């Protein structure tokens, strides 16, 4: 009780104009500084239409591949001069959600069906001439595809989102993971499905562990919605994010079998280092501790190995369920809070405090239906997980503090308009995509901040204590987003190109920006 009162008072101090603690440079924090430089940009000419999303790169042809959801294609970009990317071809892939490049210049594109609850497709192409090789059927709404390190398998996560929760026209396919084995020559690939049906009888146990299962009338297999997959260095295991469920799943790729579903827990925003700015009505960057728990809900995930151990880094974006007959988001001001859990409820529900914060209507309640914990969407952070999916490090409030320090006048701006502080009540900077790469013998994580923009880099030399290594934002806050003069907006997919595969001999990062429709090429020094 005493701490909750302190949390509100602490926020009031920040609201009154107290200085925000600086994030510090990478060198000050003990990390290895990286130089990130914008080299070139391809502009699709579209705004807020998903014209540049997921990216991949083929070193043999020096071509980048970018999902263009607006056109239903994958744009093929020549990166032989990375300072001047140019479009040279396209892959006809209606419903494309993801693209990946495997060994030998094999390109895989995951495509949802015209009716997204029907089985989807993965199409394979040859990178050098865009020739289509095979089409294989996978699960409903294939949302991401990746290859194993040896290139022998492609792993596809099938999100299986429902078309509707309405009882009259309920249409809810199962989530699953497709394991596609490439057999060489002209033989079509073999598809096996790792489903979640073995967990259908374990719903109560999973809920007790913290897995969010609440789709009306849904089985566990229907409720679990895979988002992204990262493959272990030995190619035997994939760790899959279950974003809406705030969990991860381990998949045995050899047997095409889900072996574990693990809840990720919550980030306690009342603890030092885990603060957040919860209001778009508090006059700017006001990061403080609050009695709120953040659901990690990772979107992107990437794997790396350190001293013989497998780790994964996640971008904890957050996501709510919204369908015709169900809407999960609710503002704190509209909830009845338990007086035992929140003795200072009236002060907390002020719009300049927590009143505007969007939280889940599934937040825990007492026997009278009053909320006892506030569960916000997304951790606003990056996490490192061990090989079992356990959180071993989290960046806490560092991303919000970093962007507040660098862009105080444009803190938590949205990606489609210049409206400072407008995203504070809804997931903040929203880290979404993440990749890893090695530069001069060190492993780094690169993550895109979907809303305010920019790429943040962390040195992963100590996986349990990564260090900030750099941040670049090629957005122009003085420009007009809709007019195409605001630079790069809404980073989503990131592809790292190591120096030995790069057309200019330097490590590069290719980033698709879904809002501005631009594909940017950064040099990493």
Look at phi and psi of residue 297 and say left if phi exceeds 0, alpha if psi is from -120 to 50, else beta. Answer: left
Q: Tell me, what's the pLDDT at 66?
A: 98
Tokens of 461: 């030399």
Give the CA distances from residue 38 to residues 32, 96, 239, 345, 375, in Å, rounded to whole numbers and listed in that order. Answer: 19, 27, 32, 47, 37
Closest CA to 427 of 514, 318, 350: 318
pLDDT at 437: 98
**pLDDT exceeds cutoff 80 at 292:** yes
In terms of Cβ atoms closer than 10 Å to its own Cβ (0-12, 13-18, 19+), residue 484 is: middle
Q: How far apart are CA 333 and CA 426, in angstroms?
A: 14
- 2-9 average pLDDT score: 29
Average pLDDT, the chain: 93
- Model pLDDT for residues 302-336, shown as the tens digit of each residue: 999 999 999 999 999 999 998 878 899 999 999 99
Report phi then psi at 2, rounded to 5: -65, -40
How far CA 384 is from CA of 45, 359, 393, 400, in Å, comes to 36, 24, 5, 18
The radius of gyration of the chain's CA atoms, rounded to the nearest angstrom, is 22
The domains located in the chain, with CATH, are: 20-264+293-318+379-524 (2.130.10.10)
Task: Check pLDDT > 80 for residue 32.
Answer: no
Average the pLDDT over 283-289 and give the result: 97
pLDDT of residue 13: 26
56 Rama sector, left if φ>0, alpha if ψ -120 to 50, beta otherwise? beta
pLDDT at 78: 98
Find the mean pLDDT for residues 452-480. 98
Which residue would you say has higher pLDDT here, 425 or 1? 425
At 186 the pLDDT is 83
Report the pLDDT averaged over residues 421-440: 98
Average pLDDT over residues 285-303: 98
**DSSP state, 270?**
T
Whole-number Å distance between alpha carbons of 420 and 524: 29
| Phi, then psi, of 145 in degrees rounded to 5 | -135, 145
Tell me the average pLDDT across 145-166: 93
Q: Cβ atoms within 10 A of the Cβ of 104, count? A: 12
If you average pLDDT over residues 502-517, what whole number do you get? 98
Strands of 36-43's sheet, edge to edge?
A: 36-43, 518-524, 508-513, 491-497
- Confidence bin at 169 (pLDDT 50/70/90): low
Is the pLDDT assigned to residue 18 strictly greater than 90? Answer: no
Is the pLDDT at 10 greater than 60? The verdict is no
The secondary structure element, H or E, covering residue 506 is none
Looking at residue 22, its pLDDT comes to: 32
pLDDT over 90 percentage in the chain: 90
pLDDT tens figures, 175-201:
999 999 999 878 999 999 999 999 999
What's the pLDDT at 21? Answer: 32
pLDDT band for 509, please (50, 70, 90 cuts).
very high
DSSP per-residue letters across 33-69: ---EEEEEEEE-S-SSS-SS--EEEETTTTEEEEEET
Provide DSSP, 196-242. SGGGGGGHHHHHHHT-----TT--HHHH--EEEEEE-TTSSEEEEEE
Alpha carbons within 13 A on the beta-carbon side of 58:
25
Q: Is the pTM of this model over 0.85?
A: yes
Query: What is the pLDDT, as a whole number, of residue 90?
Result: 97
Q: Pick 182 or 7 by higher pLDDT.
A: 182
Q: Which residue has the higher pLDDT, 165 or 25?
A: 165
Mean pLDDT within 107-121? 97
Residue 16 has pLDDT above 70, yes or no: no
Count of Cβ atoms closer than 10 Å to residue 130 Cβ: 18
DSSP 1: -
Per-residue pLDDT band at 17 (split at 50, 70, 90): very low
pLDDT band at 52 (very low <50, low <70, confident <90, very high): very high
Distance between CA atoms of 271 and 268, rounded to whole angstroms? 6
**What pLDDT does residue 168 have?**
61
Cα–chain-centroid distance for residue 128?
30
* Cα–Cα dist 199/220, whole Å: 6
List, as one string, the DSSP characters of 94-140. Answer: TTEEEEEE-GGGEEEEEE--SSTTSEEEEEEEETTT--EEEEEEEEE
What tokens appear for 361 in the block? 């209507």
The residues with which 209 forms a beta bridge, in sequence order, are none
d(CA 330, CA 346): 17
Report the DSSP beta bridge partners of residue 120. none
Q: Which of 108, 136, 30, 65 is nearest to 461 (CA)?
A: 30
Write phi, then psi, for 305 (nearest 5 degrees).
-120, 140
Antiparallel, parallel or unpaired: β 391-394 and 431-439: unpaired
> What is the 8-class DSSP label of residue 199?
G
How many other CB atoms sit within 10 Å of the CB of residue 326? 15
């Amino acid at each position: 009780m005493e701490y909750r009162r302190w949390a509100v008072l602490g926020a009031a101090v920040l609201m009154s104009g107290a200085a925000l603690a600086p994030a510090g440079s990478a060198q000050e924090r003990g990390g290895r500084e990286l130089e990130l430089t914008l080299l070139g940009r391809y502009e699709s000419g579209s705004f807020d239409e998903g014209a540049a999303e997921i990216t991949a790169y083929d070193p043999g042809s020096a071509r980048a591949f970018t999902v263009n959801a607006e056109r239903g294609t994958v744009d093929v970009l020549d990166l032989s001069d990375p300072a001047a990317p140019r479009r040279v071809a396209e892959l006809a892939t209606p419903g494309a959600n993801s693209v990946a490049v495997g060994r030998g210049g094999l390109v895989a594109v995951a495509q949802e069906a015209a009716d997204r609850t029907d089985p989807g497709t993965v199409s394979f192409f040859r990178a050098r001439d865009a020739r289509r090789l095979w089409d294989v059927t996978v699960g409903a709404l294939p949302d991401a595809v990746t290859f194993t390190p040896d290139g022998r398998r492609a792993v596809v996560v099938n999100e299986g989102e429902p078309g509707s929760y309405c009882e009259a026209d309920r249409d809810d396919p199962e989530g699953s993971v497709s394991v596609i084995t490439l057999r060489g020559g002209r033989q079509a690939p073999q598809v096996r499905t790792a489903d979640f049906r073995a967990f259908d009888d374990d719903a109560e146990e999973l809920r007790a562990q913290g897995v969010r299962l609440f789709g009306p009338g849904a089985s566990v297999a229907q409720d679990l919605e895979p988002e992204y997959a990262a493959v272990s260095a030995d190619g035997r295991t994939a760790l899959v994010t279950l974003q809406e469920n705030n969990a991860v799943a381990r998949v045995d790729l050899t047997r095409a079998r889900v072996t574990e579903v693990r809840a990720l827990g919550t980030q306690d925003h009342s603890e030092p280092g885990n603060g957040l700015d919860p209001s778009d009505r508090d006059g700017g960057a006001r990061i403080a501790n609050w009695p709120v728990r953040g659901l990690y809900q990772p979107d992107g995930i990437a794997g790396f190995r350190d001293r013989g151990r497998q780790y994964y880094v996640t971008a904890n974006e957050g996501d709510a369920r919204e369908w015709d007959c169900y809407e999960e988001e609710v503002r704190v001001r509209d909830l009845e809070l338990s007086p035992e859990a929140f003795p200072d409820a009236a002060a907390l529900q002020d719009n300049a405090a927590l009143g505007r914060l969007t939280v889940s209507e599934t937040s825990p309640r007492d026997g009278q239906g009053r909320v006892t914990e506030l569960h916000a969407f997304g951790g606003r952070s990056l996490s490192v997980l061990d090989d079992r999916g356990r959180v071993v490090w989290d960046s806490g409030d560092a991303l919000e503090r970093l962007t507040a320090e660098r862009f105080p006048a444009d803190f938590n701006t949205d990606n489609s308009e210049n409206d400072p502080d407008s995203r504070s009540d809804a997931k903040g900077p929203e880290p979404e995509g993440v990749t890893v790469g090695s530069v001069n013998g060190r492993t780094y994580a690169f993550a895109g901040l979907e809303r305010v923009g920019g790429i943040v880099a962390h040195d992963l030399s100590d996986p349990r204590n990564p260090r900030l290594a750099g941040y670049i934002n090629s957005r122009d806050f003085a420009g007009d987003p809709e007019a195409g003069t605001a630079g790069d907006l809404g980073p989503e997919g990131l592809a790292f190109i190591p120096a030995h595969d790069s057309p200019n001999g330097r490590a590069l990062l290719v980033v698709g920006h879904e809002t501005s429709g631009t594909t940017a090429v950064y040099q990493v020094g």
